[in-house]
Structure 1
Amino acid sequence: MTQAFSSLVPAVLRASTVKFDSLDDFITRGSRLPDGFSYGTTGTPSHRQLERRIAKMDKGSHCVVVPSGQAAIALVMMTLLKSGDHLLISDSSYGPAQTFAMEQMAQLGVQVERYNPSIDGESLGKLIRPTTRLLLLESPGSITMEVQDVAPLIEQARKHGVLTAIDNTWSSPLYFQPLALGVDLCIHACTKYMM
């Protein structure tokens, strides 16, 4: 009888090119995504195991690992926002995230508005426009460590049909689980408490 092997430090499998058993296997590789393996940058068994573990810590349903926290923030913005949309981003958000929003997203026609991280839910509700598509929080905030009152902010966003994302780098799922409060997307840079 073979027992499954589990380790606190699992093996790291790296790949650039994935080997296929046949040409047909190669041709149908797209049907195996996102959990199949077709190319090193789309993931290896190591990526999938890390994604499952992070999702489990967050009490979420799925996780996507990208090379950096900034890449994750940019991915969220670029996936959810289009020209004419309005983004609300906390003044205490990671500096490069604010720069990306104010420069790159604005160049794509996204209206970007920063808000004070100490804002209450009712005041946030007054900032929401018909075109607001995303509320980006960070709590505690980068550098200055303001802690936002997340629950009423999420409540206001939901009331107006606005998606929410939070950079949870400084708390990590060890100290704060924003998905349990109704946040739609949780972002981590795994360079702080996560690892």
Structure 2
Amino acid sequence: MKEKTGMILAHAGEEYDQYFNAIVPPVFMNSLNIFPTVDEYYDSDKRDKHTYCYGRVQNPTVRILEEKITELEKGVESYVFSSGMAAATAAVLTACSCGGHVVCIRTAYGPLKDFLQNYCREHMNVRTTFIDGDDPKEIEEVLEDDTQLLMLESPSSVVFRVQDIKKAAEAAHAKGALVYIDNTFCTPIYQNPLELGADFVMHTASKYLGGHSDIIGGSLTVKDPELGKRVRTIREQIGSIIG
């Protein structure tokens, strides 16, 4: 396991032939990319992961980071954001529509709870039910027919309370709800929530992913490519890609 993890961290996403075989991939600072013709620029159906047009949408350096996180979390796609909060709010905006219902544990990140209680309630008419989350039966009891998202954080920050991710996901999916989890404090080294049923896995990179308290960033990993497209669209439209 440690050997495989080391290979992912050292080499995943690093296609050396794309960067003149440089052992350390360059940091791309440009905001724009050029195309041979206008038609090729607009022909988005033919774009692949090496086609870049604008830094708010995608960036070669960012893509390497995303592929590393994807492999570590055993997902299909990851998207990195300017902060963990940007990643968390993108998940909410991806999963929720006006008039919906969210179930969230009480020990979730404070600003995220503020976002649910204030912005989402005021502007989207989204109701939020807060729970302890320790008992799977409690989760099952508060899920409603219009619940769109179950938000977990296991272990949760500071107090390290845990939830039964697998049972919680089964209950949420039975109601047609998606499952989000903040996996920051376990990291993908010790826990892969997608394998337990989660739909979104979030990390705030200012913690273990960064490791030195010198960066701000966030990530969302998904196992459904269609869900990933929706996440990417939200990130593009609200402009929250990492620098």
Is the deviation greater in 53-62 or in 22-31? 22-31
2:81 is aligned, of 66, 70, 76, to 66
Separation of aligned partners in 1, 2:163 and 2:181: 11
2:131 is aligned, of 115, 130, 154, to 115
Question: What's the TM-score, normalizing by structure 2?
Answer: 0.73
- Partner amino acid for 1:137? L
Give yes or no for the alignment of 1:10 onto 2:25: yes
Separation of aligned partners in 2, 1:34 and 1:128: 38
- Partner amino acid for 1:117? G
Partner of residue 202, structure 2 = 187
Is the deviation greater in 68-77 or in 25-34? 25-34
Partner of residue 129, structure 1 = 144
CA drift at 1:25? 2.6
- Partner amino acid for 1:169? T
2:95 is aligned, of 63, 77, 80, to 80
Unmatched runs of 5 consecutive residues or more in structure 1: none
Q: After superposition, what is the alpha-carbon deviation per residue over 1:38-60, rounded to whole angstroms, capped at 9, x for unaligned?
A: 10111111111111110000000
Separation of aligned partners in 1, 2:99 and 2:40: 42
- Identical counterparts, % of pairs: 31
- Partner amino acid for 1:177? N
Aligned residue pair count = 191
CA drift at 1:33? 6.8
CA drift at 1:29? 4.8
RMSD: 1.9
- Partner amino acid for 2:179? T
Q: Secondary structure at the match of 1:63?
A: strand
Question: What's the TM-score, normalizing by structure 1?
Answer: 0.89
Note if contact 2:133-2:139 (Cα within 8 Å) is conserved in structure 1.
no
Q: Secondary structure at the match of 2:68?
A: helix
Q: After superposition, what is the alpha-carbon deviation per residue over 1:84-124, rounded to whole angstroms, capped at 9, x for unaligned?
A: 11000111111111111111111111111111132x11221
Unmatched runs of 5 consecutive residues or more in structure 2: 1-15, 211-243
